[in-house]
Amino acid sequence: MQQAMPLSVRLPNLIAILAIALMPQFAAAASKARFYDLRYKAQIQPQSGVIHMEMHLKGERLPSRIVLSIDPQRHRAFKSRDPLDIVGSTVSWRPQGKFARLEYDVVVNHERGRDHYDSYLTQDWAIFRGERLVPSARATAPRNLQSRATLDFVLPAGWSALTSYERTAGAPRTIDDPNRRFDRPQGWMIAGKLGTRSETIGDIHTIVASPEGESARRQDALAFLNWNLPHLAGIFRSLPPRLLIVSAGDPMWRGGLSAPGSLFVHSHLPLISENRTSTLLHELVHVAMGIHGDDRSDWIVEGFAEFYSIEVLRRSGGISKTRHDEAMQKLAAWATRAPDLFVENSSGAVTARAVMVMRSVDDEIRKVTQGKASLDDVARELAQRRGKVSLELLQSIAARIAGQHVRALEQSSLTRSAISAPPDSPAP
């Protein structure tokens, strides 16, 4: 139906009406979607440092070929009764008949910086990403043939597992990605002997989980979210109904990392840092917006996350206006050290400069609309679109909301070599 729509817009009215009249038929065709069962079974094996994966397909008709793009260092020992070709980082599997099974191992430990990991397995717990369990996959199948996927864990005694997927007792988790016909699990996952706290904040079921015995301050994190999450949800309206926050100490990576419906944050990071920013809120903005940049637009993604991590704290009363202004002044001074916004990975001074841009855009939109609109409207629209952002997209959304061209987003404003620093005397 989505393909029919743009065509009908360009056609004369009569034909457009005819196209609309035909829509039930399109709907009927779509409802003829055929399914096969895709069952993922993940067996966590602490002794061998791997998760043994089984991918079971069952149906009257199966995809004729599934091509996986693997990381040969992490995905190995592929096995199937059906034809299987492995060349470098490409695994090509041709399921036969009505049942097919592929098995392989996923090496869990993965370093992100020296001696620090973004995926780790011990004798007592494991933290990893769903996307690593099943490498990115392309299925060759008729257009109306779709997977109906579930994920189940086989765990050592005394362990439990948490993911961003809802689970009814005794049933496997349903993995449904409306953007894909071949569903793959996504997001942060934690398994082991766990300490968890959960609460429904607004209408978001929020779970904070960490390995048992870790000083992850789960209760503090939930209290912090009780103040702040409603403000964040008010801006974006795109937070998932279930939110999993995974936390652990060393040797996990000392930062925060977001994923669909979930995030990881190192347990030693404060909820609000000395410079009045919050890693937890920063990552939550990433979860809410679900945007990513091209190789020149990461500053947009990071600028929104950092701007709103401070802004939400101000709105919730988590920091006073004076402290907020102080934080902005420090960022403005730091921003002068970024020669260029258009880098592949925005961090430090570049992100500080990006926050200054967001603040200018917010000021400008409020001014030209007499306070009727703000950067919130831009952020909300990007969060609803999700996916890739670019400067051009940001400019066009901001211009539509402002009702005119936004000067703060002109290339000349963004490429000026130095942003003037504000007076460096901090507010009292």
Nearer to Zn ion, 302 or 364 (CB): 302
Q: How far is the CB of 265 from Zn ion (least distance, A)?
A: 12
Backbone phi, then psi, for 127, in 5-degree steps? -130, 130
Q: How far is the CB of 190 from Zn ion (least distance, A)?
A: 21
162 Cβ neighbours under 8 A, 6+ residues apart: 189, 190, 191, 194, 196, 207, 209, 244, 246
> Which one, of 248, 271, 245, 249, lies nearest residue 258 by Cα?
245
Piece of 110-118, 133-141, 304-312, 390-398 that binds Zn ion (CB under 5 A): 304-312
Q: How far is the CB of 323 from Zn ion (least distance, A)?
A: 22
State the Cα–Cα distance between residues 67 and 144, nearest whole angstrom. 19
Q: Tokens 């995030």 appear where?
A: 263
Q: How far is the CB of 346 from Zn ion (least distance, A)?
A: 8
For the beta carbon of residue 382, count every other beta carbon within 10 angstroms: 23
Nearer to Zn ion, 70 or 305 (CB): 305
Q: How far is the CB of 424 from Zn ion (least distance, A)?
A: 26
Q: In what order do the strands lie in the sheet with 256-259?
A: 194-201, 204-211, 242-248, 262-266, 256-259
Q: How far is the CB of 209 from Zn ion (least distance, A)?
A: 21
Q: How far is the CB of 350 from Zn ion (least distance, A)?
A: 11
| Residue number closest to Zn ion, CB atom | 305
Q: How many residues bind Zn ion (CB under 5 A)?
A: 2
Q: Cα dist. 375→48, 165, 358, 361, 385 in Å?
A: 50, 31, 7, 7, 16
State the Cα–Cα distance between residues 428 and 411, nearest whole angstrom. 35
State the Cα–Cα distance between residues 338 and 348, nearest whole angstrom. 8
What one-character-per-residue DSSP string does 234-271 give?
Answer: HHH----SEEEEEEE-TTB-SSEEEETTEEEEETTS-S
Nearer to Zn ion, 42 or 284 (CB): 284
Strand pairing class (65-69; 75-79): unpaired
Piece of 303-311, 381-389, 400-408, 418-426 that binds Zn ion (CB under 5 A): 303-311
Strands (DSSP E) contained in 255-414 are: 256-259, 262-266, 291-293, 387-389
State the Cα–Cα distance between residues 217 and 219, nearest whole angstrom. 5
Piece of 118-126, 152-160, 301-309, 412-420 that binds Zn ion (CB under 5 A): 301-309
For the beta carbon of residue 21, count every other beta carbon within 10 angstroms: 9
Q: How far is the CB of 302 from Zn ion (least distance, A)?
A: 5
Piece of 8-16, 94-102, 133-141, 299-307 that binds Zn ion (CB under 5 A): 299-307
Nearer to Zn ion, 147 or 277 (CB): 277
Q: Cα dist. 336→275, 328, 330, 355 in Å?
A: 17, 13, 10, 12
Nearer to Zn ion, 166 or 294 (CB): 294
Piece of 41-49, 100-108, 223-231, 297-305 that binds Zn ion (CB under 5 A): 297-305
Piece of 4-12, 160-168, 203-211, 300-308 that binds Zn ion (CB under 5 A): 300-308
State the Cα–Cα distance between residues 305 and 291, nearest whole angstrom. 10
Piece of 134-142, 210-218, 239-247, 302-310 that binds Zn ion (CB under 5 A): 302-310
| Contact of 4 with 29, CB cutoff 8 Å | no
Q: How far is the CB of 1 from Zn ion (least distance, A)?
A: 36
By CB under 5 A, tell whether 305 contacts Zn ion: yes
Cα pseudo-dihedral 134, 246, 283, 181, rounded to 10: 30
Piece of 7-15, 231-239, 298-306, 332-340 that binds Zn ion (CB under 5 A): 298-306
| Contact of 344 with 302, CB cutoff 8 Å | no
By CB under 5 A, tell whether 291 contacts Zn ion: no
Q: How far is the CB of 165 from Zn ion (least distance, A)?
A: 24
By CB under 5 A, tell whether 354 contacts Zn ion: no
Nearer to Zn ion, 151 or 225 (CB): 225
Q: How far is the CB of 258 from Zn ion (least distance, A)?
A: 7
- Which residues contact Zn ion (rule: CB under 5 A)? 302, 305
